[in-house]
Amino acid sequence: MAAVRAPAPALDAGPGLSEKRVRLPDGRSIRIVVAGSGSPLVVFEAGTGIAASMWGTVQPRVAAETRTLAYDRAGLGGSDADPRPRSLERFADDLDLLLDEVEPAAPVVLVGASLGGAIIRMFASKHPERAVGMVFVDPAMAEAMRESQVRRMRRVFTVFAVSSHVGLQKPLMVGPIKYLSQLPMPEAARTVFVRDLTSGRNALTAKREWRETDMSASTLSRLQSAGLPDVPVTTLVGELVHRREPPGLRAALQEAARAEMQAHHRGRFVLAANGGHFIPHQETDLVVEEILRVVRTVRQDEHHP
C-alpha cells in the first residue's frame, strides 16, 4: 500500500517537553518527544492513530524522576510515513531502530496503551534483553478483541479518514473534544492533544494502522502466549464502560488482565475505578504512580541483582 503522502510538520511538543528528530537507517525521519534525565528510560507507545501527545499529561510528571521518550509512529504527527505495511512486527522493528539511534545501550521501561500495549508486547518478545519493566494501560488483549469489535473499529477509522479528505474530521470529534474539556488537564497539554486528535493526517494513518495491523483475537492470543520477560509488569484496566463498547467486553478485559498478572510472578493488576479506555487522561495520577512504581523497582533490581 502506498504511504500517506503528507509533509511531516514541526509541532509544539507541549509544556515541559522537547521535540527532536531521529533519522532511521532507511531514511525516514521520526519525531520524538523527550524530557527528564536519569535511568531507566521510560518509552511511551500510544494507541491507534494517536501521536506522542497522548502522553502529554503523564510524560512531564514521570520525567521529574527519570528520562522519558514518546514518539509519533510513522505517518503520525511529525513523523514520515512508511512505504511498507504496518504490522505489529514492523511497529516493534521501528521502535528497535529508533532506540538504536537514540541510546542503544539504554535499559527501557515500556509503557503502552490500547494498540500500544500489543506493540510493546511484541517488542519485548523480540528484544527481551532491552525491556527492564513494562506498564500496560487498558491494552488490547485477545479476550476482548471480538471479530465484531474489529469490524466496528475498521468502520470508525474509515469514516474518520474519508471525512478528513473534506475537512470534516473535526466536527466528528465534537463529542471527544467536549469530554476532554471536562477533564483536569493542563490547558496547554489539552490544546496539543486536541490538535493531534483532529489532524487529517493522523486520521488517514489511523485507518491504515487498523487495516494493515492484524489485531484479531488469534494474533493477540499467540502474542500473549509467548509470555512476558522476567521483569516487573503492571497492567491497569479501566472499570468504566463506554456506551459504545460491546456488552461484556470490559469485564472480559479485566478478567484476562488480572489472570495474566496473577500468573506473572512480578505482575501487578490495577483496576482504574474512575477510568475507562482513556485512563491516561481520566486517572493521570494513578498512571503516573504505577509507572514510577515500576521505575523504582527497576532501580532496586539494579542495586540488588
Residue pLDDT, tens place only, 38-52: 999 999 999 998 999
- CATH (residue range 18-303): 3.40.50.1820
Residue 5 has a pLDDT of 44
% of the chain beyond a pLDDT of 90: 60
The rounded distance, in Å, linking the Cα atoms of 175 and 73 is 25
Helix %, strand %, coil % of the chain (to 5): 45, 15, 35
Distance CA 305, CA 303 (A): 6
Q: What is the pLDDT of residue 135?
A: 98
Q: What is the mean pLDDT of the chain?
A: 88
Residue-level pLDDT at 148:
67
Residue pLDDT, tens place only, 249-281: 889 999 999 999 999 999 999 999 998 888 999
**Cell of residue 92, nine digits:** 516493534
Stated pTM of the model: 0.91
Task: Return the pLDDT at 168.
Answer: 55
Q: How far apart are CA 64 and CA 38, in angstroms?
A: 10
Strand pairing report for 68-71 and 41-45 = parallel
Q: Does residue 17 contact residue 56 with C-beta atoms inside 8 Å?
A: yes
pLDDT, residue 161, reads 67
Neighbouring CB atoms inside 10 A of 102's CB total: 18
Alpha-carbon gap, residue 85 to 78, rounded angstroms:
19
Helical segments of 165-248, H only:
169-172, 174-181, 187-197, 200-212, 217-225
pLDDT value of residue 2: 35
Instruction: List, for the chain, all residue ranges whose pLDDT scores fall below the cut of 70.
Output: 1-10, 146-150, 156-162, 164-172, 305
